[in-house]
């Protein structure tokens, strides 16, 4: 199942910068592992914001929830999820 996930990150200004930098490094590694595994298909930064738009390819909404909620910055995120399906006008059979 494909999902578009919009993640807006709102880290409090009084957060410990060392702790936040550590969380960011762990999250980057986790993102790249999920991309290598084919679960996190795409990620794009939203210009001018600390936000991204991502495409996930998972087995179920529960799997998506478990992946996203395991991200180190999850407590600081506002998330919007949209289920996707293949468009009949697409020229790509696998939508990759």
Considering only CA atoms, which of 90, 91, 96, 89 is closest in space to residue 57? 96
pLDDT value for 92:
82
Whether 96 shows a pLDDT value over 70: the answer reads no
pLDDT category at 61 given cuts 50, 70, 90 is very high
Rounded Cα distance between 86 and 14, Å, is: 43
Cα distance between residue 38 and residue 24, in whole Å: 21
The model's confidence at residue 87, banded by pLDDT at 50, 70 and 90, is confident
3-state secondary structure of 89: coil
Q: How many percent of the chain have pLDDT more than 70?
A: 98
36, 51, 59, 49: which is closest to 5 by C-alpha?
Answer: 51
| pLDDT attached to residue 42 | 96
Beta partners for residue 78, in sequence order: 8
Please check the confidence at residue 75 and state whether its pLDDT lies above 80.
Answer: yes
């Amino acid at each position: 199942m494909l999902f578009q996930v919009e993640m807006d990150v709102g880290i409090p200004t009084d957060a410990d910068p060392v702790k936040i930098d550590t969380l960011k490094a762990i999250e980057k590694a986790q993102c790249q592992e999920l991309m290598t595994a084919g679960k996190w298909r795409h990620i794009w930064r939203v210009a001018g914001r600390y936000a991204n738009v991502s495409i996930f390819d998972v087995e179920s909404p529960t799997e998506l929830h478990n992946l996203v909620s395991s991200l180190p910055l999850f407590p600081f995120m506002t998330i919007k999820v949209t289920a996707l399906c293949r468009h009949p006008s697409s020229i790509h059979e696998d939508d990759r």
